[in-house]
Amino acid sequence: MTAERGWRSHPLLQLTLVRYREFYREPEAIFWVFIFPVLLTAGLGIAFRSRAPDRTPIALVAHREQAALAERLASDSALKVRLLTDSSAAQALRAGEVALVVVTTDSGVEYRYDPERPDAREARLRADEAVQRTAGRSDPVPAHERTVREAGSRYVDFVVPGLLGMNLMGSGIWGIGFAIVDARRKHLLKRLVATPMSRTQYLASFVLSRLTFLVLEVALLLGFAALVFGVPVRGSPGTLAGVCLLSALAFASLGLLLAARPRTVEGVSGLMNLVMLPMWIFSGVFFSSSRFPDAVQPLIKALPLTAVNDALRATMLRGAGLNQVLPELAVIVAWLVLSFAVAVRLFRWR
């Protein structure tokens, strides 16, 4: 009757297998954890892709034949010139169809534009350049231009580490919080602690399964970003792996803390949103957290997701080594240790 205990019947393995089974038998979970971040990257990468700057439309009102000026204006790659009469040019300016109206007069040239519009100011400078050159001005200092466009400075390069951080937070907090509160609600947690099961192994099974999914999540998102958008990973893979690992553990601890007491899924959802929503906004996922006032910067820097995003960006975009992201890692480890310690104290097994 008594079965031999092989490695396959080790409780930690069985508990971890349960985590996998519950996950992959839930198609929605797979979508949110793996597919959604990739779709979001694709969407943002396409929406904010780099492209040639638009030409600014301007109007030229010529009272005399001005073929040379018109030609020189048209040859400026940043301007798009329309020849209009005085009244229709005024109308076009009012309607915002043109940013600038250039009017040639007997005594010279008049520029009509709204100085609040940056494109109008630039168009004025460029138009004036064309006017003066047509009149014979030459540059005393010869200048050469060399344009630089490099992977790592585009929006998609900025946003991919942010999305990775957000994903690590989301799957850590949702994945652990929901499963635990659901087990408590169904009295399954109570049933499990009535067996000789080790409580440590129960919690460890969540950590183990999170770490496996972590590898897949990171590989899928970064692989997609690298192949499709050429997003670089300049730091060493080891440093990146270390940052991801600590981040995932910190968010897993936070998920454990949030799930420590609630008895209903609604209760824990509210708590999770309360914790995650501010971080989506303040922690520099979609735009830099430096846009917020200096006074709140210390608070923002203390948020776990800010530290994770900063560390990921430093590693991926600037090629920082482990010792260059130590302040961020310190914040992450502090969250990990504190959340875990408080979670274990508060945890309700019934």
Partner 1 sequence: MPDPAPPLFIRQLRKSYADVVAVDGLDLTVHAGECFGLLGPNGAGKTTTIEICEGLTVPDSGEVVILGRRWGRDDRTLRELLGISLQETQFSEKLTVAETVQLFRSFYRRGPDPATVIELVQLTEKASSRVGQLSGGQRQRLALACALVGDPELLFLDEPTTGLDPQSRRQLWELIEGFRAGGRAILLTTHYMEEAERLCDRVAIIDHGRVIAEGTPRELIASLGAEHVLEFAVADGATLDASALAGVAGVGPIGRDDGTWRVQVSELHQAMPALLGELRRQGAQLSELRTHSATLEDVFVSLTGRQLRDG
Q: Which residues make up the interface to partner 1 (CB under 8 A)?
A: 1-3, 5, 9-11, 13-15, 17-18, 21-22, 25-26, 183, 186-188, 190-191, 193-197, 350
Q: Which residues touch 305 (CB under 8 Å, ≥6 apart)?
A: 165, 166, 169, 279, 280, 283, 285
Name residue 100's beta-bridge partners. 58, 113
Smallest gap from Cβ 196 to partner 1, in A, equals: 4
Q: Say if residues 59 and 102 touch (Cβ distance below 8 Å).
A: yes
Smallest gap from Cβ 181 to partner 1, in A, equals: 13
Q: Which of 326, 152, 177, 165 is nearest to 239 (CA)?
A: 326
Cα torsion angle, 18, 173, 34, 161, sign: negative
194 or 295: CB nearest partner 1: 194
14 or 75: CB nearest partner 1: 14
14 or 288: CB nearest partner 1: 14
- Report the 10 Å Cβ neighbour count for 37: 23
Distances (CA, A) of 218 to 92, 147, 199, 238: 51, 33, 29, 13
Name residue 111's beta-bridge partners. 102
Smallest gap from Cβ 26 to partner 1, in A, equals: 7
Length of the chain: 350
Amino acid at site 320: A
Q: Record the tokens describing residue 85, joined without a space.
A: 């009469």
The C-alpha atoms of residue 252 and residue 185 are separated, in whole angstroms, by: 20
Name residue 57's beta-bridge partners. 80
Smallest gap from Cβ 346 to partner 1, in A, equals: 18
11 or 57: CB nearest partner 1: 11
18 or 42: CB nearest partner 1: 18
Rg (CA), the chain: 30
17 or 330: CB nearest partner 1: 17
Distances (CA, A) of 139 to 79, 84, 122, 133, 142: 21, 31, 19, 9, 6
Q: Say if residues 304 and 294 touch (Cβ distance below 8 Å).
A: no
Smallest gap from Cβ 261 to partner 1, in A, equals: 17
Smallest gap from Cβ 183 to partner 1, in A, equals: 8
124 or 184: CB nearest partner 1: 184
- The distance from CA 207 to its chain's CA centroid, rounded to whole angstroms, is 25
15 or 279: CB nearest partner 1: 15
Smallest gap from Cβ 322 to partner 1, in A, equals: 38
Q: Which of 272, 279, 280, 251 is nearest to 181 (CA)?
A: 272
Smallest gap from Cβ 222 to partner 1, in A, equals: 29
Burial label for 57, CB within 10 Å (0-12, 13-18, 19+), is middle
Smallest gap from Cβ 255 to partner 1, in A, equals: 18
2 or 138: CB nearest partner 1: 2
Q: Say if residues 241 and 168 touch (Cβ distance below 8 Å).
A: no
Check residue 251 and report its DSSP letter. H
Smallest gap from Cβ 336 to partner 1, in A, equals: 28
162 or 262: CB nearest partner 1: 262
